[in-house]
Homo-oligomer: A and B are copies of this chain.
Amino acid sequence: MTSPSAPFSVLCEPGFNPHQLNKYATLMTCGNGYLGIRGGHEEAYTDQVRGMFVAGFYHRATPDEVTELVNLPDITGCKIEFGNTPFSLLAGKLLSYRREFHPELGELCRELIWQSPEGGLFSLKSARFVARAPQQLVAATLTLTALDQETPLRLTTGIDATQTNSGRQHLTEASVRVMHQHTLQGCYRTPEGDMALMISSHCRLSSDDARISYAAKNRQLNQQFSTTLRVGVPLTLEKISWVDVCLPGDAEPENWDEHCLAQLAPQVEQGYAALRAASLQQWQRWWPQARVEVGSSDPFDQLALDMSAYHLAAMTPAHDERCSVAAKGLTGEGYKGHVFWDTDIFILPYHLLTRPETARALLRYRYHRLPQAQQKAARCGYEGALFPWESAFTGDEETPAFGLINIRTGLRQPVASALAEHHLVADIAYAAVGYLQATGDAQFQATETQALLKACALFWLSRTTEVNGRLELHDVIGPDEYTEHINNNAYTNYLAHYCVAQALHYLPDTPEHEDVHTRGRDFLARCVLPQPDNERVIPQDDSFFSKPTIDLTRYQAKAGTQSILLDYSRAEVNEMQILKQADLIMLFFLLPSLFSREVQRANLDYYLPRTIHDSSLSKAIYAIVACRNGMADLAWPLYREAMAIDLGPEPHSCDDGIHAAATGAIWLGAIMGFAGLEYQEGQLVLSPRLPPHWKTLRFPLCWRGEQLQVSISHQQLQIEKANDAPLSICVHGTLHSFTRRLVLALEH
């Protein structure tokens, strides 16, 4: 493409606000798929939750807890004392403040001028990033200047292992020491000893005349610098750290401590600025394959897309097939770092169409855990594979037993997802099929896809209940988690049907698979697929239409907060026509060709007012389905709200971590909604319908091994690629074939 890229967006915190500490700590998380570090301030605040997470570093604190992604010892905190006054923005006076996150390279920067309660005027500048490579590298810098009076300064920073996951401790402090009179090093292990973490941190002060002392007490290893700030002379502290882990099964390097020091030393040598430049270069090589650019009259749209792309990279452990994407990425403790269907359905498509090898790794994460899924199925009395509703490192079921307090009984309400939210099995099969459509990866088809599809199909074959000669799926939970333990959830039944059909398609009709084929054909013939009624509305499940409706306006106004559970118990919500999130609409999103435009529109009209959107998986899906069905007036506002789930004005939008699926859905909305991309049936489809205020939409695509660049305006669609092999694409229902460049005029 000849036109230059749009400048990168910058996320600015609107000002210091103690109510939004954790929202911005989440949004400003630095990460690289291996490591995530929340954007906490150097100084402490009571409500500020720090966090450092390494993909796959899960642990169960005690047998009756669930496994969780461990909140590792903190290296970002720094106590700053001017004279006897600790620096805190809650005290004194803030004369200027600017805090920014640069998704271009994942750098968090702060710059402020502060007057202490005693009157001294100081400037503070700090910055921090996690390197794109080497992934273990974390660099931070802090510069302080006294603006009007010489002031004694004390800086205390180090490795703080008092960090817990909301009070649950996972690590023992195996050793802490000061290596070579310079580098703090802490080694931490899980009590069982099968995982370890080695943090090495080197601090350098720009002044030589500081008094330095070290302390190790109460799980904190600290270095303290005492010096004097002279007026107008900036003092800089650079802290370069190396965060290395051994996951279960990893062999611990010999002399690991010295090994880490040897890795750290050349990085320290370079210093913050050079390390930053090197990391930026790595990011700059990556962006052209990832970035979606919109020519929008509202800069927020590009910001949301840039933040989405950055966070999709930062959350995805593309380097290690033993891990997958957590529901909050590596940005917070929420959902305990577990992997849900979010990954397979909301996040995987982005990787599939930009870096398919990452999608492959995510599917292989599922593939490696087939044995555990087969064990769970067997335990529950089924055949095939029943993947855990919440998955972590081992592939065992990790869903917590209890959720919120029941407002009637005072008891915590059991979480039923692990018992009945079985659509996940079809979702994974759907993702595996999608991967084949977009890549044509024959090797994967012959092994992973066949194994996954067979195991998933077998599950559904054994999951049925025969009623009057038809096969029904009883006692399930569909995507809508406010409607539990129902029969023949339309989403589940259609997806199960699709799963079995695809298994029959991909599994060779050999004696080895004869049983699946025979039973599968019977299943496809007899499986109940709920049909539209006279108003073209498909019942979400057998009993849904029989339930009463209430006005949900006030709960929709607080979407995402589950405020309805303050008025009704879960059991009561279950007995009304209340959707937490897209359910039937989710089915339209995944299998659009099965339903006519009229049916889709009728159901959108019916279900939208009944949906609270208390799940972040909802609005973007409604937006995409609305867009595809020409309901532009509905599509844009829903998409706009979906983009704002984390980034919007709500001060606690994402305190305990970003909504990873919603982050993926920002990409989905642009590409699968407004560009109208579909691929599930093996044909690349684009049906652009840009919102009026978007002049252009440009994005890279990786389709069957080829790198495409797509540019869309209201007038024109243009696709470029680098080689001469012909490619066919369906645009608004018409098939086009081209080699290097396709330019099509679009009708209005």
Report the Cα distance A163→B162, complex, angstroms. Answer: 11
Interchain CB contact under 8 A, A168 and B169: yes
Distance (Å) between the CB of A108 and the closest chain B CB? Answer: 20
* Residue A233 at the chain B interface, CB threshold 8 Å: no
Q: Which residues of B contact A167 (CB under 8 A)?
A: 161-164, 169, 218-219
CB distance from A623 to the nearest CB of B (A): 30
Chain A interface residues toward B at CB < 8 A: 18-19, 44-47, 61-65, 84, 86, 88, 90-91, 161-164, 166-169, 172, 174, 176-181, 191, 213-220, 333, 404-405, 407, 410-412, 566
Do residues A213 and B566 form an inter-chain contact, with CB atoms below 8 A? yes
The smallest beta-carbon distance between A168 and chain B, in angstroms, is 6
Residues of B within 8 A of A64 (CB): 172, 174
Bound-state CA distance A284–B214 (Å) is 49
A79 to B474, CA, bound (A): 45
What residues of chain B lie closer than 8 Å to A566, measured between beta carbons?
213
CA distance A331 to B214 in the complex (A): 27
**Complex-state Cα separation, A507 to B162, whole angstroms:** 51
Tell me the smallest distance from the CB of A35 to a CB of chain B, in Å: 20
Q: A169-B169, A404-B217 are in contact. Are A18 and B176 (CB under 8 A)?
A: no
- Distance of A616 Cα from B10 Cα, bound (Å): 55
The 8 closest A-B pairs by CB, nearest first: A178-B410, A162-B167, A166-B218, A44-B46, A169-B169, A90-B90, A62-B191, A62-B172
| A7→B219 CA distance, assembly (Å) | 44
**Given A46-B46, A91-B90, A172-B64, A19:B84 Cβ within 8 A:** yes
Residue in B166, B219, B333, B405 whose beta carbon sits within 8 Å of that of A168 in the complex: B219
Q: Is the CB of B405 within 8 A of A214?
A: yes
With both chains docked as a complex, state the minimum distance between the C-beta of A723 and any C-beta of chain B, in angstroms.
53
Q: How far is the CA of A161 from the CA of B61 in the complex (A)?
A: 14
Give the chain B neighbours of A84 by CB distance below 8 A: 19
Contact check, B172 vs A86: say whether CB atoms are below 8 A apart.
no
New A-B pairs, 13, CB < 8 Å, besides A61-B169, A62-B191, A169-B169: A18-B86, A44-B46, A45-B46, A46-B88, A61-B172, A88-B90, A90-B91, A162-B166, A166-B220, A168-B219, A178-B405, A215-B405, A218-B333
A104 CB to nearest B CB, Å: 32
Bound together, the chains give a CA A86 to CA B18 distance in angstroms of: 9
The minimal Cβ–Cβ distance linking A354 to chain B, given in whole angstroms, is 35
CA distance A216 to B411 in the complex (A): 9
Q: Contact: B166 with A404, CB < 8 Å?
A: no
Q: Find the residue from A63, A84, A214 having the highest chain B CB count within 10 A.
A: A214
- Minimum CB–CB distance from A199 to chain B (whole Å) comes to 15
Evaluate contact between B166 and A164: CB separation under 8 angstroms. Answer: no
Expressed in whole angstroms, the minimum distance between the Cβ of A530 and any Cβ of chain B is 36
**Shortest Cβ gap from A298 to chain B (Å):** 28
A-B residue pairs in contact (CB < 8 Å), sample of 26: A19-B84, A44-B46, A44-B47, A45-B46, A62-B172, A63-B191, A90-B90, A162-B164, A162-B166, A162-B167, A164-B164, A166-B218, A166-B219, A167-B218, A168-B219, A176-B412, A177-B410, A177-B411, A177-B412, A178-B405, A178-B410, A213-B566, A214-B407, A215-B404, A215-B405, A216-B405
A88 to chain B: which residues have CB within 8 Å? 46, 90
Name the CB-closest residue of B to A410.
B178
A410 contacts which of B18, B62, B169, B179 (Cβ < 8 Å)?
A: B179
Chain B contacts for A174, CB-based, 8 A: 64
Beta-carbon nearest neighbor of A117 in chain B: B90
Contact present for A214 and B90 (CB under 8 Å): no
The answer to whether B161 touches A404 (Cβ under 8 A) is no
| A222 nearest CB neighbor, chain B only | B405
Q: How far is the CA of A298 from the CA of B61 in the complex (A)?
A: 53
Residues of B within 8 A of A410 (CB): 177-181, 214
In the complex, A390 Cα to B270 Cα: how many Å?
48
- Kindly list chain B residues whose C-beta atoms are within 8 Å of the C-beta of A63: 191
Q: How far is the CA of A407 from the CA of B214 in the complex (A)?
A: 7
Once the chains are docked, how many angstroms separate the CA of A84 from the CA of B18?
A: 11
Give CA–CA (A542, B236) in the complex, Å.
Answer: 51
Q: Which residues of B contact A178 (CB under 8 A)?
A: 405, 410-411
- Chain B CB within 10 A, most for which of A47, A169, A214, A404: A169
> Given the complex of chains A and B, what is the CA–CA distance between A166 and B217 in angstroms?
9
Query: Is the Cβ of B164 less than 8 Å from the Cβ of A169?
Result: yes
Interface centre among A19, A46, A177, by most chain B C-beta atoms within 10 angstroms, is: A46
Pick the contact of A216 from B162, B177, B217, B404 — CB < 8 Å?
B404
A64–B192 Cα gap in the complex (Å)?
11
Is A216 in contact with B86, judged by CB distance below 8 angstroms? no
Q: How far is the CB of A214 from chain B (nearest CB, A)?
A: 5
Q: Which of B19, B166, B172, B333 contacts A65 (CB 8 A)?
A: B172
Give min CB distance, A653 to chain B, whole Å: 16
A161 to B166, CA, bound (A): 9
Please name all residues of chain B whose beta carbon is closer than 8 Å to the beta carbon of A169 when the two chains form the complex. 61, 164, 167-169
Query: Within 8 Å CB of A333, what residues of B?
Result: 218
Using Cβ atoms and an 8 Å threshold, which residues of chain B touch A405?
177-178, 214-216
Q: How far is the CA of A191 from the CA of B169 in the complex (A)?
A: 12
* Bound-complex Cα distance A566 to B224 (A): 11
Interface centre among A45, A84, A91, A405 (most CB of B within 10 A): A405
A728 to chain B, nearest CB (A): 52
Please measure, in the bound complex, the distance between the C-alpha atom of A450 and the C-alpha atom of B728, giving whole angstroms. Answer: 99
